[in-house]
Amino acid sequence: MPFDLNFLIRLIPALLEGAEVTVELAVLTMLICVVWGLVVALAQATPGPLSWIAGGYIQVVRNTPLLVQMYLVYFGLSMIGMGLSGFASGLLALCIQNGGYMAEIYRGGLQSISLRQYEAGRALGMRRWTLYTSVIMPQVVARVIPPLTNQAISITKDTAQVAAIAVMDIMKVAQVWVESSANTYDVFLGAGLIYLCLTTVISLGGRIAERRLAFAS
């Protein structure tokens, strides 16, 4: 039964179609969360009520399962008449949770910058925007590339959970093929290999970005 060539030839194009959806979800989640996570991190770093809201948000989204959040978005919103498609619900849930994780990564990066860097910028007459865009954030970005790469890999794997809300990603395509063929082993092996290819590309990309942005070596 395993390694039935004819079966694989039919399976692979189907999985690749699912991979398109997976890649779309992962890339959109990353792009949105790179910005959203920074917004949350900066909100948390600003003293006042905004900081508590951001802190509470991070606690809640990090400490509940992605699948629960996904069901809440998918079924919850449709209950109040604002139903989103499976893809949109999955994307929203992925962004809600990973925005929290990304905020924590940025927070670590921001805290790793010495207060003396802020002083040096302010002493030169820099206002907040200039200080952050030319002094602080370039250093933060260089430092958070490794954890962001990790997070991107994690996001890519987490997209598999959208199969639970009927989005035809790699995982859902695999489940459908398993049901119709009963060939569990080949199908999930194929699915796993495609995920591995995707995450390998991200790892390599992260390495390259790390090298490009390295200034202190």
Here's the x/- map for other proteins, 85-114, by CB under 8 A: it reads as -----------------------------x
Count of CB atoms situated within 10 Å of the CB of 49? 9
Cβ closer to other proteins: 88 or 137? 137
Q: Is 12 in the site for other proteins (CB under 8 A)?
A: no
| CA 82 to the chain's CA centroid | 24
- The reply on whether position 142 binds other proteins by CB under 8 A is yes
Closest to 61 in 3D by CA, of 158, 157, 165, 140: 158
Query: Closer to other proteins at the Cβ: 83 or 108?
Result: 108
Residue span binding other proteins (CB under 8 A) among the ranges 9-17, 55-63, 104-112, 209-217: 209-217
Encoded amino acid at 161, one letter: Q
Whose tokens are 């498609």? That residue is: 85
Stretch that binds other proteins, among 55-63, 96-104, 120-128, 178-186 (CB under 8 A): 120-128
Separation of alpha carbons 131 and 110, rounded Å = 13
Residue 212 in the binding site for other proteins (CB under 8 A): no
Q: How far is CA 37 from CA 57, 101, 103, 199, in A?
A: 11, 7, 4, 21
Chain contacts with other proteins (rule: CB under 8 A):
114, 116-117, 119-128, 130, 134-135, 138-139, 142, 215-217
